[in-house]
């Protein structure tokens, strides 16, 4: 019995979601009285940092061949690593890689999978979000081995100080018909799904030319920017900023909604945020019902003041 965690990397560095998965997996291992092993694929800087997330052992599959992500191959490596350490629980982040790999793992191993966990397992049951954040379900995994993908902020970060042992690992991987030709990333932009703070604006901003203050506020807070769906649909903002039921679902620590009414489909994608601030001229805007803090006021007056207040705080 042991716990295996897939810790994904991007450009040779662990992703924030990989750390979340490692932290979650270590807590699962602790609860089960067993140890937490991470599988690392490809080049990775500073592997020892995983010790501070409770990992005691790393299996490192370091082959250049795998700098390109192919879920079929990644799944096969995880299966072989799980066999080697007799893993009974496999943990992945519920991010783009985890969503690709976890279902393949579950089908190949013929075991139960719960995606989008928001809490540690209790026995064989795991709590996850359903109805796009409008509810939670507690799901029993009926197979002896379980696979779980974890949402950001599912559990509090614990501080561990484990010393790691790293072992080179290799296995046969299937030849596949898929190749990654190119990876395009907006280089210095903070990724929306990984940001701790998100500043988001809607149709209340009246036009794309008014986003300067939104970007400035985001910059002052070290936040990513997001928007409501109509704003992306009319082309005021790029599509990748669209959050909600039919866009990205995000779970930052702080979500600041400016000039967004708070339609049910918008809330579905953001109500996993820890703290919600709403700025809206309409005191009856539904978003206030989901908010922790609210200002009834005009964004064009409030936001510039907010920028000054944040600057003052940091000074």
Partner 1 sequence: MKIVVCISKAPDTTSKIAFKENNTQFDEAGIQFIINPYDEWYALVRALELKEANGGNVTVLNVGGAENDPIIRKALAIGADDAARIDAPTNDALFIAKQIAAYLKSNPADLVFFGKETIDYNGSQVGGMVSALLDLPYVSLASKLELNGTTAMLEREIEGGIELIETSLPFVLSAAKGMAEARIPNMRGIMAARTKPLNIVPAFEASNATEIKSFTLPPAKTGCKYVDADNVDELVNLLRNEAKAI
Q: Which chain residues interact with ligand FAD by CB under 6 A?
A: 202-204, 228-231, 244-247, 259-261, 263, 265-266, 269, 279-282, 285, 298-300
Contact by Cβ (8 Å): 274, 154:
no
Contact by Cβ (8 Å): 37, 4:
yes
Alpha carbon 32 to its chain's center: 24
Work out whether 11 is an interface residue with partner 1 (CB under 8 A).
Answer: no
Work out whether 69 is an interface residue with partner 1 (CB under 8 A).
Answer: yes
Stretch that binds partner 1, among 26-34, 52-60, 164-172, 287-295 (CB under 8 A): 287-295
Instruction: Write out the binding residues for partner 1, residues 255-274 only, by CB under 8 A.
Output: 264-265, 268, 271, 274
Q: What, of ligand FAD, partner 1, none, does residue 54 touch, CB below 5 to 8 Å by kind?
A: none
Contact by Cβ (8 Å): 47, 166:
yes
* Contact pick of 7, 17, 26, 52 for partner 1 (by CB under 8 A): 17
Work out whether 289 is an interface residue with partner 1 (CB under 8 A).
Answer: yes
Instruction: Write out the binding residues for partner 1, residues 164-183 only, by CB under 8 A.
Output: 176-183
- Residue 138 φ/ψ region, left for φ over 0, alpha for ψ in the -120 to 50 degree band, beta for the rest: beta
Number of neighbouring beta carbons within 10 Å of residue 84: 15
Instruction: Write out the binding residues for partner 1, residues 103-162 only, by CB under 8 A.
Output: 103-108, 110-116, 125, 127-143
For every residue of 96-129, DSSP letters joined together read: HHHHHHHHHHHHHHT-EEEEEE-S--BTTEEEEE
Q: Write down the least CB distance from residue 168 to partner 1, Å.
A: 27
Between 161 and 179, CB nearer to partner 1: 179
Number of neighbouring beta carbons within 10 Å of residue 94: 27
Alpha carbon 19 to its chain's center: 10
Q: What, of ligand FAD, partner 1, none, does residue 202 touch, CB below 5 to 8 Å by kind?
A: ligand FAD
Burial 238-257 (b: 16+ CB within 10 A, else e): eeebbbbbebbbbbbebbbb
Contact by Cβ (8 Å): 228, 244:
yes
- Using CB under 8 A as the criterion, what x/- string covers residues 185-204 for binding partner 1? xx--xxxxxx--x-------
Work out whether 254 is an interface residue with partner 1 (CB under 8 A).
Answer: yes
Between 172 and 284, CB nearer to ligand FAD: 284
Between 45 and 206, CB nearer to ligand FAD: 206
Between 96 and 157, CB nearer to ligand FAD: 96
């Amino acid at each position: 019995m042991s716990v295996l965690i897939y810790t994904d990397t991007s450009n040779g560095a662990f992703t924030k979601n990989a750390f979340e998965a490692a932290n979650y997996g270590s807590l699962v291992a602790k609860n089960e009285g067993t140890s937490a092993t991470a599988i690392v694929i490809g080049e990775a800087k500073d592997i020892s940092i995983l010790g501070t997330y409770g990992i005691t052992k790393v299996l490192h599959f370091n082959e250049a061949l795998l700098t390109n992500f192919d879920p079929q191959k990644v799944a096969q490596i995880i299966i072989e690593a799980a066999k080697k350490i007799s893993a009974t629980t496999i943990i992945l982040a519920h991010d783009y890689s985890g969503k690709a790999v976890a279902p393949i793992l579950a089908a190949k191993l013929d075991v139960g999978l719960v995606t989008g966990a928001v809490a540690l397992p209790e026995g064989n049951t795991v709590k996850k979000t359903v109805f796009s954040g409008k509810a939670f379900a507690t799901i029993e995994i009926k197979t002896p081995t379980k696979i779980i993908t974890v949402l950001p902020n599912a559990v509090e970060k614990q501080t561990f100080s484990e010393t790691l042992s790293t072992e080179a690992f290799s296995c046969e991987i299937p030849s596949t018909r898929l190749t990654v030709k190119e990876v395009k990333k907006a280089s210095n932009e903070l990724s929306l799904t990984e940001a701790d703070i998100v500043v988001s604006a809607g149709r209340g901003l009246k036009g794309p030319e008014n986003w300067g203050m939104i970007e400035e506020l985001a910059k002052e807070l070290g936040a990513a920017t997001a928007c409501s769906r109509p704003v992306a649909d009319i082309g005021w903002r790029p599509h990748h900023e669209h959050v909600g039921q039919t866009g990205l679902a995000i779970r930052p620590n702080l979500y600041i909604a400016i000039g967004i009414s708070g339609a049910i489909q918008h809330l579905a994608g953001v109500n996993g945020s820890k703290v919600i601030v709403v700025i809206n001229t309409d005191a009856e805007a539904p978003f206030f019902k989901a908010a922790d803090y609210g200002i009834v006021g005009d964004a064009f007056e409030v936001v510039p003041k907010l920028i000054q207040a944040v600057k003052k705080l940091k000074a």
